[in-house]
Chains A and B, each alone.
Chain A
Amino acid sequence: MASYIARRLLLLFPVLLGVSIFVFVVLHLFTTDPAALMLGQHATTQQIEALREELGLNDPLYVQFGRFLWQVLHGDLGRSLMTRAPVTDEIMSRFPATIELAFMAMLIATIAGVFVGVLSAVKQYSIFDYLSMVGALVGVSMPIFWLGLMLILLFSVQLGWLPVAGRIDIGMEPARITGLYLLDSLLTGNWAAFVSALKHLILPALALASYSMAIIARMTRSTMLEVIRQDYVRTARAKGLVESLVIYRHALRNALIPVVTVVGLQMGSLLGGAVLTETVFSWPGIGSLLVNAILAADYPLVQGSVILIATIFVVVNLLVDLLYAFLDPRIRYS
């Protein structure tokens, strides 16, 4: 097991190298000149040239990449061109918001998705089954951006139940311990902050959860349908077990493995910055940071964020693989 984990972690390096080469090349070939952006409308060609020289943008690409790699290996992601603050600081100040949003979305998506999926499978071809699968189809195909705006219009502007955007009411931020507002407010016993943070979290989490929820519901339904036709389920029923026990203890646990895979993959992409959701809801996470950085051609910040996102993706996938062994005793890694 330990050697398996070690091998998987070692694989992280080639993946990250590939990702950083890709990002580096794309950035340098297809985006605006950051020097021109930094200097504004008065900049003369000479000034832009001087700044490009200073930033090292005139060196051949491989030299720039080598320099970047050298820095990264020393744990330094450089300074943001936009704000001049260290990239690691910028990312760390934004990361808790993304974690909080991703976990809440995943919680909603998993609970609702599994629940709907199981119920659809158990009551196959019922009205509930049809409705929920149509709902899932809508969930998969609806653009998050549009859904987000609709949620805001309905729940915030029309009904006035929930705030429009942002992470917490102004001036109510809890004292920083983990950076996760829900957790920090509970740890400090700041109930008002908890409520405010939760209210701000609901709409973006719902919007973000919509896609994953639909995928999970569909996956759960199809694997459950397979499992409940198996012999051991019939046996369980035959020996007189209560139906709910049959479904949840015997069938669901075995149906969960593909579902866990999907949940894991979704979690990876949710943590990797829910770019659209964060933009619509002004959620101060990695996704919105990345959007701003791309718009400002802030090379170091884009690179740093993408490397972080790739790392998360790989690590979450590893965790999912490890979870298989826990769920299905037949699976062993060596």
Chain B
Amino acid sequence: MKKWFWPVLLLTALAFVLAGCGGQQAQNAAPAKDITLVYAQGSDPRGLDPAYVDDGESAKVIVNVFEGLVRYKPDSTEVEPCLATEWTSSPDGKEWTFKLRRGVKFHDGTDFNAEAVKFSVERQLPPNRTDDMPYASFTFGPVQKVEVVDQYTVKFILNEPYAPFLANMAMALAAPIVSPAAVQKYGKDFIEHPVGTGPFKFVKWDKGQQIELARNDNYWGDKPAAAKVFFKFTKENSVRASQLKTGEVDMMDGVDPNDVKMLEQSGLKLIKNPGMNINYVGFLCHKPPFNNVKMRQAVSYAINRQNLVDYLYQGLADLANGPLPKFMPGYAADLKPIGYDPEKAKALLKEAGYKGEKITILAYSNPRPYNPVGGEKLAAAIQQDLLKVGINCDIKTYPWKEYKDVLFKAQEGHMFLYGWIGDNGDPDNFLSLFDSKEIAGSLNAAKYSNPQVDKLLAEGRKTMDPAKRAQIYHDLQKIVLEEAPWVYISHSLDMAAYRPNVVNFNLHPTGVVFLRGVSKN
């Protein structure tokens, strides 16, 4: 015992001391001009093949390695050219022809051309499509086939006219163009060996730790400022915030509301952007009492939305002015939903013949991205508001897993809490939730049906002219704001934090981060 005990203790102590000295050396060693960016997120991506994943953690890495034919503008979900330089759609809206950028190469040296586009899309079309491609049918739903016109021209033929198609082509998932050679080479393992045309090349993935990307020196656009980018995975929000504070990471997302003050006081920069989501209360419009529009309006007048947003979300959400967040095309700035007016609510209840029947609010038990405080708190706050105008409610709560099923069957309850996270930044993506066709597909949880709305939606999908489309969606929103199938509560904010020496960093409204322009002093 004695023989080994002291040497081991001494060695351990020595190691601690040496560890203490090594730190400065490591920090000084970083060369000044080759910038390395470290971005901290909550967990590993599910995978890096855009065809097989649907989670935000994957999307953040994917958008820096891959590109689509078009991309979103930096601060909105309007699209601009990317791998395609220009495009036209046929007058009937069924054919889209894209002119491709010349001289672009994938990271593995494969040429980017019309064949590559065809390959990327066709692996997600029937009969190649498999059940575990979460976004294939959404993104390429109306696509019948892809034709190579010439080496740098590709034509998509759709089953029906579909204006949101262009926005779909900018999405982080499903739409990015992959290197056909690499997919063939890696097969199933492409999901861990992504090869695209983006500003950064994939280097390696240390599971549970980080993903390393390196600058693509052959990038067709402005070369990225950073030579290396690391996506680091730290599960705990507060631990991630500590890493940012000590400088172990440069940027982070998933800021815990409790850490906001600490981060700001530490001199770190905070981003609070409106998120591409909507948190709403829906009425089951297919059955009494809410098949009566006056009842829906009465409850809408009775709910103090501003109050909810101020006290429930405490600055973490914006009041919703309708179904669409402000940055989305189609947002109707001049329209407002029904405001808070308890007296008017009481009058409408009387008109509707409400006799004090009990109303049941269905709620999910857990927090959701659009409702960070969870369903129970929101439902309880609404219950209080409704009590003030004489509506007696009870709340029925389900775990999320069962909740969707309960809503779809719609056998119980009268009102429900729900929300939507946008996919592609196209207004149709949000407004389709009012489409009576979607009652069967379960997206229209309110079971709201209005032929005029259906007609406008169909028209909107066919209309390629942005101004005309905006008018159609304006008319549509006017109807749904008046008819009130939903009470429009809030858009929760996307938050990120970064160190003051980081330049040009922003969260995109779709929740991803484009690091090509980000630099560091």
- A residues near B, CB below 8 A? 32-33, 36, 38-45, 47, 50-51, 54, 82-85, 90, 93-94, 97, 107-108, 111, 149, 152-153, 156-157, 160-167, 169-173, 192, 195-196, 198-199, 202, 244-245, 248-249, 252-253, 279-282, 284-285, 288-289, 291-292
Closest Cβ–Cβ distance, residue B189 to chain A (whole Å): 8
B436: Cβ under 8 A from any A Cβ? no
Q: Which of B1-34 contact A (CB under 8 A)?
A: 1-2, 5, 8-9, 12, 15-16, 18-20, 22-23, 25-26, 29
Would you call B134 and A282 a contact (CB within 8 A)? Answer: no
Option from A32, A192, A281 in Cβ contact (under 8 Å) with B26: A192
10 additional A-B residue pairs with CB within 8 Å, beyond A84-B47, A152-B239, A252-B1: A32-B401, A39-B134, A51-B131, A165-B236, A165-B248, A166-B243, A166-B248, A196-B26, A248-B2, A288-B235
Option from A54, A93, A157, A198 in Cβ contact (under 8 Å) with B246: A157
Q: Tell me the complex Cα distance, A306–B442, Å.
A: 37
Q: Which of B219-248 contact A (CB under 8 A)?
A: 228, 230, 232-236, 238-239, 242-243, 245-246, 248
Would you call B2 and A249 a contact (CB within 8 A)? Answer: yes
Binds A, one of B204-212, B302-310, B340-348, B387-395: B204-212
Would you call B408 and A45 a contact (CB within 8 A)? Answer: yes
Listed by A's residue number, 19 A-B pairs whose Cβ atoms lie within 8 Å are A36-B404, A41-B421, A45-B442, A47-B137, A50-B131, A51-B131, A84-B191, A85-B189, A93-B207, A93-B208, A111-B5, A166-B210, A195-B19, A195-B22, A199-B23, A244-B2, A280-B236, A281-B239, A289-B208
B38: Cβ under 8 A from any A Cβ? yes
B397: Cβ under 8 A from any A Cβ? no
- Kindly report which residue of chain A lies nearest to residue B210, judged by CB atoms: A170
B54: Cβ under 8 A from any A Cβ? yes
B52: Cβ under 8 A from any A Cβ? yes
Would you call A198 and B19 a contact (CB within 8 A)? Answer: yes
Q: Tell me the complex Cα distance, A38–B135, Å.
A: 11
Would you call A284 and B208 a contact (CB within 8 A)? Answer: yes
Closest Cβ–Cβ distance, residue B437 to chain A (whole Å): 12
> Contact mask B238-278 → A, CB, 8 Å, 1/0?
11001101101000000000000000000000000000000
**Interfacial chain A residues near B239, Cβ < 8 Å:** 149, 152, 164-165, 280-282
Q: Tell me the complex Cα distance, A160–B242, Å.
A: 11
**Interfacial chain A residues near B423, Cβ < 8 Å:** 42
Would you call A284 and B209 a contact (CB within 8 A)? Answer: yes
Known: A54-B131, A84-B188, A279-B235. A152 touches B242 (CB 8 A): yes
B354: Cβ under 8 A from any A Cβ? no
B192: Cβ under 8 A from any A Cβ? yes
**Interfacial chain A residues near B138, Cβ < 8 Å:** 42
* 8 closest A-B pairs by CB: A284-B208, A195-B22, A40-B54, A51-B131, A282-B234, A199-B19, A164-B243, A164-B242
Q: Tell me the complex Cα distance, A162–B22, Å.
A: 11
Would you call A198 and B132 a contact (CB within 8 A)? Answer: no
Would you call A282 and B236 a contact (CB within 8 A)? Answer: yes
Number of A-B residue pairs having CB atoms within 8 Å of each other in the complex? 156
B461: Cβ under 8 A from any A Cβ? no
Known: A84-B191, A282-B234. A33 touches B401 (CB 8 A): yes
Q: Tell me the complex Cα distance, A267–B404, Å.
A: 44
B36: Cβ under 8 A from any A Cβ? yes
Closest Cβ–Cβ distance, residue A173 to chain B (whole Å): 7
Would you call B36 and A199 a contact (CB within 8 A)? Answer: no
- For A42, A173, A199, A282, the residue with the greatest tally of chain B CB atoms inside 10 Å of its CB is A282
Would you call B233 and A282 a contact (CB within 8 A)? Answer: yes
**Interfacial chain A residues near B105, Cβ < 8 Å:** none
Would you call B208 and A285 a contact (CB within 8 A)? Answer: yes
B43: Cβ under 8 A from any A Cβ? yes
Option from A43, A45, A85, A292 in Cβ contact (under 8 Å) with B134: A43
**Interfacial chain B residues near A202, Cβ < 8 Å:** 16, 19
Closest Cβ–Cβ distance, residue B142 to chain A (whole Å): 14
Known: A107-B12, A170-B232. A51 touches B19 (CB 8 A): no
Would you call A94 and B2 a contact (CB within 8 A)? Answer: no
Would you call A292 and B44 a contact (CB within 8 A)? Answer: yes
Closest Cβ–Cβ distance, residue B297 to chain A (whole Å): 28
**Interfacial chain B residues near A198, Cβ < 8 Å:** 15, 18-19
Closest Cβ–Cβ distance, residue B439 to chain A (whole Å): 12
Would you call B15 and A157 a contact (CB within 8 A)? Answer: no
Option from A42, A160, A161, A284 in Cβ contact (under 8 Å) with B207: A284
> Contact mask B124-146 → A, CB, 8 Å, 1/0?
00000001101101100000000
B441: Cβ under 8 A from any A Cβ? yes
Would you call A169 and B26 a contact (CB within 8 A)? Answer: yes
- Kindly report which residue of chain A lies nearest to residue B21, judged by CB atoms: A195
- Kindly report which residue of chain B lies nearest to residue A33, judged by CB atoms: B401
Would you call A47 and B131 a contact (CB within 8 A)? Answer: yes
**Interfacial chain B residues near A166, Cβ < 8 Å:** 209-210, 232, 234, 243, 248
Closest Cβ–Cβ distance, residue A302 to chain B (whole Å): 16
> Contact mask B194-207 → A, CB, 8 Å, 1/0?
00000000000011
**Interfacial chain B residues near A199, Cβ < 8 Å:** 19, 22-23
- Kindly report which residue of chain A lies nearest to residue B419, judged by CB atoms: A41
Q: Tell me the complex Cα distance, A149–B22, Å.
A: 24
**Interfacial chain A residues near B1, Cβ < 8 Å:** 248-249, 252-253
Known: A85-B192, A248-B2. A97 touches B208 (CB 8 A): yes
- Kindly report which residue of chain A lies nearest to residue B244, judged by CB atoms: A164
Option from A42, A50, A85, A196 in Cβ contact (under 8 Å) with B22: A196
Closest Cβ–Cβ distance, residue A82 to chain B (whole Å): 5
Closest Cβ–Cβ distance, residue B115 to chain A (whole Å): 26
Q: Which of B120-175 contact A (CB under 8 A)?
A: 131-132, 134-135, 137-138
Option from A161, A165, A253 in Cβ contact (under 8 Å) with B234: A165
**Interfacial chain A residues near B131, Cβ < 8 Å:** 39, 47, 50-51, 54
Would you call A51 and B132 a contact (CB within 8 A)? Answer: yes
Q: Tell me the complex Cα distance, A36–B399, Å.
A: 14
Q: Tell me the complex Cα distance, A90–B12, Å.
A: 32
B46: Cβ under 8 A from any A Cβ? yes
Option from B12, B16, B212, B246 in Cβ contact (under 8 Å) with A164: B246
Closest Cβ–Cβ distance, residue B466 to chain A (whole Å): 25
Closest Cβ–Cβ distance, residue B261 to chain A (whole Å): 15
**Interfacial chain B residues near A280, Cβ < 8 Å:** 236, 239
> Contact mask B440-484 → A, CB, 8 Å, 1/0?
011100000000000000000000000000000000000000000
Would you call A282 and B238 a contact (CB within 8 A)? Answer: no
**Interfacial chain A residues near B46, Cβ < 8 Å:** 82-83
Known: A107-B12, A111-B12. A165 touches B18 (CB 8 A): no
Would you call B134 and A94 a contact (CB within 8 A)? Answer: no
**Interfacial chain B residues near A162, Cβ < 8 Å:** 19
**Interfacial chain B residues near A84, Cβ < 8 Å:** 47, 52, 188, 191
- For B15, B29, B423, the residue with the greatest tally of chain A CB atoms inside 10 Å of its CB is B15
**Interfacial chain A residues near B236, Cβ < 8 Å:** 165, 279-280, 282
Known: A43-B134, A172-B26. A94 touches B207 (CB 8 A): yes
**Interfacial chain B residues near A170, Cβ < 8 Å:** 36, 38, 210, 230, 232
**Interfacial chain B residues near A44, Cβ < 8 Å:** 441-442
- For A164, A195, A285, the residue with the greatest tally of chain B CB atoms inside 10 Å of its CB is A164
